[in-house]
């Protein structure tokens, strides 16, 4: 079967499905090819993010937080409950319902925008045709004027700790454990390792995280990382830095680990092992040999500043290209590419993409870290403000963390904002807007912030840049 479209998108994750919707909104005849299979065996649009990533992990994080509050934090409010327990089947089942709601929502959006979905894997052929291989092995070819490659990413598997879906799992497996493991090992203290480690720790697991790098959260600002590490230690998360896993053996339904650090080799036995050492671009089988599309040394699709591959009418977005592997980054690339295809002015500012880690406390940042500014020789000023001095945070019994603001020493232009504390996943948006409009710390300092709110920490940090915070010594 042959069919002709204006745009074919390969991949229906946050980059792909958003690109397809925006292209359709712009009047382009659009198709989207995706092979993700839901628990019911049917096509489940939304990619890793909606199915086994962002959305389900946040569902479990919220449920586990409720349980942890009940068992650890509610007493200070005068709230007590006898013998609380967690039903893991209901816990995971709630997550599954939320996933189905959102993947079904994408399907409805496709129908509303008259996007044609194809169930199967897509392979780009020369001449902007796409070979679609259905789950039953049958093939068909469709073609378009423009093809957007949005194939996403997959977990990196260690050769000596291969996923078996039972004892050694990836992020998807860690979302579907049938019971709380007594001992959970996590390889990698990045976003996935910290979030899922927190989920199962709150429910009673003894969690040990092994991180090969010597510094904790080296991608974040050092001050924020230091505060977060201290709080995680208080929560009972054991994080071993400079600890490189060298061996993992399954014996009698346990996983025996060998890791090395500066003191030599060590052993650790766990019931479940989550390997979360990062993700790699999923480009295997995506390209026929003669398409002309190039891959870099890490298997990512090579693109220019407009996400064009250099092959006429072929674009690439999301985790499969350079830049941070973040759902919102991929979505904005999808919008921009659809608009470029339609002859409009797409826009992405990679310097203001926010990062968020949904642990307790939350961690969020945008722009440059203090180290990056020092290394680049950029003169800067620093302002900080603790949540311990924010009335709303104290009333919530969540007065941990701070807001740190970095502004240019001469122009006062906001260069970076780094937060750790309650609700910072939402607060970071104010910093992003300010930086996007090339605003200054003074701009934030002059804006009235409601009282009592968590956002006052942003206001006071901005005041602190010029040593005039009201509610702390400067």
376 shares a domain with 327 = no
Contact between residue 189 and residue 216 where contact means Cβ atoms under 8 Å apart:
yes
Query: How many angstroms separate the CA atoms of 321 and 332, rounded?
Result: 13
- What CATH number does the domain containing 222 carry? 3.50.50.60
- For 212-243, letters b (16+ CB in 10 Å) and e give beeebbeebbbbbbebbbebbeebebbbebeb
Which residue numbers in the chain have pLDDT < 70? Answer: 1-2
Per-residue pLDDT tens over the stretch 42-53: 999 999 999 999
How many other CB atoms are found less than 10 A from the CB of residue 251? Answer: 9
Catalytic residue among 418, 451, 459, 471: 451
Examine the domain organization and report whether 131 and 47 are in the same domain. Answer: yes
Residues 88, 23, single domain; the answer is: yes
Same domain, 137 and 13: yes
CB atoms within 10 A of CB 40: 9
Establish whether 451 is a catalytic residue. yes
User: Is residue 160 in some structural domain?
Assistant: no
What is the reported pLDDT for 1? 41
Task: Tell me which residue has tokens 């720790």.
Answer: 201
- Verify that 19 and 143 share a domain, yes or no: yes
The answer to whether position 473 is within a domain reads: no
User: Do 309 and 184 belong to one domain?
Assistant: no
Same domain, 149 and 177: no
Q: Does residue 273 lie in a domain region?
A: yes
Instruction: Write the CB contacts of 256 (distance below 8 Å, at least 6 apart in sequence).
Output: 247, 248, 249, 250, 267, 268, 269
321 in a structural domain: yes
**Tokens matching residue 321:** 């290209």
CA distance 228 to 237: 11
Which residues contribute to the annotated binding site?
58, 122, 188-195, 211, 278, 319, 325-328
Dihedral of alpha carbons 395, 420, 348, 310, sign: negative
Residue from 226, 189, 235 nearest 402 by CA:
226
Whether 24 is in a domain gets the answer yes
* CA atoms of 367 and 357, how far apart (whole Å): 16
Count up the domains in the chain and report the number. Answer: 3
**Residues 392, 398, 403, CA angle at the centre, nearest 5°?**
75
Residue whose C-alpha is closest to residue 414's, from 376, 375, 444: 444
> Does residue 225 sit in the same domain as residue 172?
yes
DSSP H or E stretch at residue 327? helix 327-341
The residue written with tokens 């969690």 in the block is 207
Domain end among 230, 246, 277: 277
One domain, residues 377 and 263: no
- Binding-site residues for FAD sit at 58, 122, 319, 325-328
Q: What span, in angstroms and rounded, lies between the C-alpha atoms of 427 and 368?
A: 17
Closest CA to 107 of 153, 43, 25, 152: 43
Which pLDDT value is given to residue 473?
81
- What's the token pair of residue 469? 């915070």
In a domain, 161, yes or no: no
pLDDT digits (tens, 9 = 90+) for 73-115: 999 999 999 999 999 999 999 999 999 999 999 999 999 999 9
334 and 376 inside one domain: no
474 is a domain residue? no
Whether 51 and 147 share a structural domain: yes
Please state the separation of Cα 222 from the chain's center in Å: 20
In the 3-class helix/strand/coil scheme, how is 75-140 assigned residue by residue? HHHCCCCCCCCCCHHHHHHHHHHHHHHHHHHHHHHHHHCCCEEEECEEEEECCCEEEEECCCCCEE
Last residue of a domain, one of 260, 277, 294: 277
Q: Which residues are annotated as a binding site for NAD(+)?
A: 188-195, 211, 278
Alpha-carbon span 276 to 198, nearest angstrom: 13
Same structural domain, 210 and 223: yes
- Give this prediction's pTM: 0.96
Quote the CA–CA distance of 402 and 469 in Å, as a whole number.
13
CB 329 within 8 A of CB 323: yes
Which of 252, 277, 302 delimits the end of a domain? 277
Domain that holds residue 116: 4-155+280-342
Neighbours of 33 (CB within 10 A): 27
Q: Which two tokens stand for residue 230?
A: 């201290």
Residue 240 lies in a domain: yes
């Amino acid at each position: 079967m042959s069919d002709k479209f204006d745009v074919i998108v390969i991949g229906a994750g946050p980059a792909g499905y958003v690109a397809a919707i925006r292209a359709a909104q712009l009047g382009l005849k659009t198709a989207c090819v995706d092979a993700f299979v839901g628990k019911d065996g049917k096509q489940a649009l939304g990619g890793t993010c909606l199915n086994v990533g962002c959305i389900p992990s946040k569902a479990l994080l919220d449920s586990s937080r409720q349980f942890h509050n009940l068992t650890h934090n509610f007493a200070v409010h005068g709230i007590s409950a006898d013998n609380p327990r967690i039903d893991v089947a209901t816990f995971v089942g709630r997550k599954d319902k939320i996933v189905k709601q959102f993947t079904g929502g994408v399907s409805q959006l496709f129908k509303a925008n008259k996007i044609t979905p194809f169930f199967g894997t897509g392979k780009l052929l020369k001449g902007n045709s796409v070979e679609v291989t259905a789950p039953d092995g049958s093939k068909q070819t469709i073609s378009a004027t423009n093809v957007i490659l949005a194939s996403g990413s997959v977990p990196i598997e260690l050769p000596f700790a291969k996923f078996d879906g039972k004892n050694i799992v990836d992020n998807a497996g860690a979302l579907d454990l049938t019971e709380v493991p007594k001992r959970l090992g996590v390889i990698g203290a990045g976003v996935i390792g910290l979030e899922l480690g927190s989920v199962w720790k709150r429910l009673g697991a003894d969690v040990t995280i092994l991180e090969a790098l010597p510094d904790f959260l080296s991608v974040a600002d050092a001050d924020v990382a230091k505060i977060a590490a201290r709080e995680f230690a208080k929560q009972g998360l054991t994080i071993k830095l400079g600890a490189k896993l060298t061996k993992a053996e399954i014996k009698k339904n346990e996983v025996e680990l060998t890791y090395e650090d500066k003191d030599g080799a060590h052993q650790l036995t766990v019931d479940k092992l989550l390997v979360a050492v990062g993700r790699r671009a999923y480009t295997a089988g995506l390209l026929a040999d003669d398409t002309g599309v190039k891959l870099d040394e890490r298997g990512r699709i090579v693109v220019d500043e407009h996400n064009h591959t250099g092959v006429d009418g072929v674009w690439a977005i999301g985790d499969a290209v350079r830049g941070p592997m973040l759902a919102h980054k991929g979505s904005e690339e999808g919008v921009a590419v659809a608009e470029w295809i339609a002859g409009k002015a797409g826009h992405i500012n990679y310097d203001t993409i926010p990062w968020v880690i949904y642990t307790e406390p939350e961690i969020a940042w945008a722009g440059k870290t203090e180290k990056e500014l020092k290394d680049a020789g950029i003169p800067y000023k620093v302002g900080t403000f603790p949540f311990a001095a924010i009335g709303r945070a104290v009333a919530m019994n969540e007065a941990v963390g701070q807001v740190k603001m970095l502004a240019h020493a001469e122009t006062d232009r906001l260069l970076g904002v780094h937060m750790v504390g309650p609700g910072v996943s939402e607060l970071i948006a104010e910093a992003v807007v300010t930086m996007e409009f090339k605003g200054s710390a003074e701009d934030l300092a002059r804006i009235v912030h409601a009282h009592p709110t968590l956002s006052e920490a942003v206001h006071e940090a901005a005041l602190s840049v010029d040593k005039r915070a009201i509610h702390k010594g400067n």
